[in-house]
Amino acid sequence: MSSLHGEAAASAQPRVFIVDDHGMFRSGVRSELSGDVEIVGEADDVAPAIAEISKCQPDVVLLDVHLPGGGGQEVVAAVKPDHPQVRFLALSASDAPEDVIAVIRAGARGYVTKTISGPELVEAIRRVAAGDAVFSPRLAGFVLDAFASGVAADIDRPSFDSELDQLTAREREVLRLIARGYTYREVARELFISVKTVETHVSSVLRKLQLSSRHQLTRWATERRLT
């Protein structure tokens, strides 16, 4: 992006909104992302977040899973119906599977841990802005776990949409590599496929995660939290 295309580059910068109850974290993210994305606003709780996001219509919302006034999924659920073009990337330090699955099921396009490095976060935001899904190793592990455990348990319920309730072998492979800490590019190289194909697989997994009607998924997440 040379200076000739400065304007194009600026408009290509995704407009980002940060929702997190820790001021320290918000300012940290702000300084890490400055120059790569345009930060259009921030909020520290559910109610102000819903109002602000509806007003400024960002491309991507960085959403803390835990907020004092409720879970991050409430923000997604409130904004999504009226503004479907706003995309959400969940951020969390706690990694409780129940919360993560809930916020993804509500409609977030991805999930990363708060320990993520600046450049990686920028890449994740770009991906979500482009409509792709972003899976951290942990989320990939969750999904593998949740979808692996139920195959036998669901046999007695033939009415299930089997396409939505199962991962393909390839999707499993991709998730496994992501869980092992591979980036999309490394996954693509390992499996001899293009990065675009990796993104397609991950998006398809995200869709299954959001649309699958298996009660298994919720139950699995709840049980994991109790252990």
Partner 1 sequence: MEDMVEHDAAATQDAGAGGHWTAWLEARGIRLSRRPASAGPLRRAVDGRVFGGVAAGIARRTGFDAGLIRALLVIGALLTTGLLAALYVIAWLVIPADGTDTAIGTKALTDKRGIGLALGLTSLLAVGLIIASALHVAWVTGLAVPLLVCAAGLVLIARNAPESERQYLRDLADPVAPATGGRRSRRLLRIGVAVLLLIAGLAALLSGHASTYQLLLPLAGVMLLVGGFALALGPWWLRIARDLVGERQARIRAEERAEMASRVHDSVLQTLALIQRRADDPHAVTKLARAQERELRSWLFDGRAPGSLGDQAGTLADGVRLLQQEVEAQHGITVEAVTVGNCELDEELTALLAAAREATVNAAKWSGAPVVSVFAEVEPGSVSLFVRDRGCGFDPDAVSGDRKGLAESIRGRVARRGGTATIRSAPGEGTEVSLVMPRMAAGSPRGATAATPAGRLPRRP
Contact 136, 177 (CB under 8 A): no
Contact 53, 25 (CB under 8 A): no
Query: Which one, 4 or 152, has the nearer CB to partner 1?
Result: 152
166 binding partner 1? (CB under 8 A): no
92 binding partner 1? (CB under 8 A): no
224 binding partner 1? (CB under 8 A): yes
Q: How many CA atoms lie within 13 A of 203 on its CB side?
A: 11
Contact 170, 181 (CB under 8 A): no
Query: Which one, 78 or 112, has the nearer CB to partner 1?
Result: 112
Query: What's the rounded Cα separation, in Å, for the pair 205 and 69?
Result: 30
Could you count the other beta carbons within 10 Å of the beta carbon of residue 208? 21
Phi, psi of 18 (to 5 degrees): -110, 125
Nearest to 29 by CA among 80, 89, 70, 71: 89
210 binding partner 1? (CB under 8 A): no
223 binding partner 1? (CB under 8 A): yes
Query: Which one, 139 or 206, has the nearer CB to partner 1?
Result: 139
Q: Give the E-state strand segments of 65-139 in sequence order.
A: 66-67, 70-71, 87-92, 110-113, 134-135
Shortest Cβ 76–partner 1 spacing (Å)? 24
Among 138, 170, 173, 191, binds partner 1 (CB under 8 A): 138
Among 3, 85, 115, 159, binds partner 1 (CB under 8 A): 115
Stretch that binds partner 1, among 2-10, 134-142, 163-171, 201-209 (CB under 8 A): 134-142
Residue type, 224: R
Among 10, 93, 148, 211, binds partner 1 (CB under 8 A): 148
Query: Which one, 49 or 188, has the nearer CB to partner 1?
Result: 188
Phi, psi of 214 (to 5 degrees): -65, 125
Among 101, 140, 174, 202, binds partner 1 (CB under 8 A): 140
Under the rule (CB under 8 A), what is the footprint of partner 1? 113, 115, 137-138, 140-141, 144-146, 148-150, 153, 176, 179-182, 215-216, 219-220, 223-224, 226-227
